[in-house]
Structure formats: C-alpha cells, structure tokens
Amino acid sequence: MKRAAAIDIGGTRTKMGIVAEDGSIVRRATISTSAAGEPTTLVAGIVATLRPMLDAAATDGGAASGIGISVAGFLDRAHTAMIDNANLPALCGFPLRHALEDRLALPCYLEGDSNAAVVAEYRHGAGRGSARLLGVTVGTGLGGGVMIDGHLLRYAGECAGDLGHIIVDPTGRRCTCGAQGCLEAMVCSASLSERANGRHVRDIVKRAQHGEELALHALAETSRWLGLGLASLSPLFLPDRIVVGGGVAAAGDLLLEPVRSSYRTHASPAFRERVQIVGSSFGGWEGIVGAASLFLDPLE
C-alpha cells in the first residue's frame, strides 16, 4: 500500500505523520507552531520531527513517496506559498513548499488546510457519498472547504474563500482579521476558552463530559454561534451534508447536538429538513489525512 508523509500547519499546532493510501495514519507527532517564531525555525522543527518518521517508514518497508502539506490560509496559484492568513502572518509569502522539498529531499504538494480536511472527509471519512459537501474545521480559527461532485471549489485563494469571516454578530468579539463578530471570532478555541474562565479546550471538553455546568454552557454558546454560521453559509454552497472537524469538535455530540438545534432554528425549511450535520471521523487529524491523500491522488 502506498504511503505519503503529511504536515498540517495550524495557527497553534503543527501535526505530522505517515499516512497510507486508505487514509490510515501509521505514525503521528505534533509540535508548536506559535513557539517556532519565524518560518525557518518552523521548517527546522518540522524537519527534525518528520525525518525520523520518514526513516522509520523506509526501514519497515513502507517508504513515503512524497509529502503533502496543508497550511491555514490562502495560497498562490502555483501552490508554493501561503499568501494570506491573519493567524499566521510570519508565513505569508514564505516559499514553504520549496523550503521543505530542499530540506527533506522529497517532492511536496501544498494545499490549503480547509481543502485538505474536506478531501479527507470526502474520501475516507464522514463525507463519503455526499454530492455537495461543506467541511468546517474549528480550532485556532475556522476554515471551510467545499466539494461539489468530487471537485474542490476554488473560488478565491485556491479555496472556497474565507468562510470563517462572515459576520454573525456586529457587536461580538474582535477578530484577528480586524473585523468584529466574525463567525471565526465567535466559535474559535479562544472564544470557547473565554466562556469557561480561560480553561484549555481539552479541559473544557473533559469537564463538560462530567456534567459541569460552566463547561456545558461554554460549549452550548459556541454551538449556538456555529449553528447560526452554518445556516448562513448554506444558501451560498447548498450542501447536502456538513462535516464539523478540528480541535473544538473533540466535544462530539456535546457540541454537535446544540449546533444542530441552532441550525434548525436559523436555517430556512429547505435546508433544515435535508442537510445532515455530522462530526469528523479523524479527531482533529483530518488535515494530514487529506494532505497525504492529495499528494498520492491529486484531484486535478
């Protein structure tokens, strides 16, 4: 079975691994994105972590043929660099694909993280069989990708646009993009943490699972805004299914059930009756699965 290495660079964490063509993750690791500082330091951290995994994969007979890279933000037309993302300003314009090819001596394919995530769900996860799939990942920010009849929608920045920056509450939190009340600002991990007195997302989820009222309230409020945002996006993309992934989605139905309730409240009858809202199959690792899949089997 063919394998590829994969890197998923998010606003807070960078995930890496070796992924088989069936979508299974053979090896995995994470490093901090934010602590890396400038791009060359991040590249050095990625190389130091990924190279031993590549060597181990080669030793056990499953050498990776190349590397799929997903990064949050808009890409240039040639897929060599990320050109716009308020959460990763240091990487804007940096020749990321070429830097990693030079350091790791393997061919690389660079894709937006929202596209990589929705491809993972479409090919290997909760989006299988969907004709019009909207995938959103909620973490440091909110990204979204769209698959229509097996093709990625590339509207702006080589993706479906900046879905997280529709404004859902003009009096809401200030967003990293400079606007106020963006969907991203209202549902990101920082907003969830603020609603739970500064706790980490993992702690909030754990406490909610044990029935703590504050944690449950924080998740419910985040879900309310996410359901409203998905209802607002539905007339634009006409999905038959919406997959919710990313770190915040680790809460499972504690997040998704109130999301569905909010969606039904705000969406028109045509959407609330036919759109499925489901959780990701990958526990936050959809980015590396999709990046590897796109390296092994490009869509176009």
- CATH code of the domain in which 141 resides: 3.30.420.40
Residue 39 in domain: yes
Do residue 137 and residue 165 come from a single domain? Answer: yes
Question: Is 85 domain-assigned?
Answer: yes
Examine residue 70 and state whether it is found in any structural domain, yes or no: yes
Query: CB-side exposure of 209: number of CA atoms within 13 Å?
Result: 10
pLDDT score for 37: 65
User: Is the same domain home to 191 and 265?
Assistant: yes
Tell me if 197 sits within 8 A of 218, measured CB to CB. no
Residue 191 has a pLDDT of 97
Mark whether 107 and 169 lie in a shared domain.
no
Identify residue 253 by its one-letter amino acid code: D
Average pLDDT value for the chain? 95
Q: Where are the alpha helices (DSSP H) in 200-244?
A: 201-209, 213-237
Domain identity same for 7 and 142: no
Q: What is the pTM of this model?
A: 0.94
The whole domain housing 269 covers 129-279
Count of domains forming the chain: 2
Determine phi and psi for 18, rounding to 5 degrees. -115, 130
Same structural domain, 256 and 290: no
With a cut of 60, say whether residue 36 has pLDDT above it.
Answer: no
Q: Is 155 exposed, middle or buried (0-12, 13-18, 19+ CB in 10 A)?
A: middle
Residue 175 has what DSSP assignment? P
Average pLDDT over residues 152-163: 93
Q: Which two tokens stand for residue 237?
A: 């993309």
Q: Predicted confidence band at 74 (pLDDT cuts at 50, 70, 90)?
A: very high
157 φ/ψ sector (left φ>0, alpha ψ -120 to 50, else beta):
left
Q: Are residue 225 and residue 259 in the same domain, yes or no?
A: yes
C-alpha 120/C-alpha 235 separation (Å) is 24
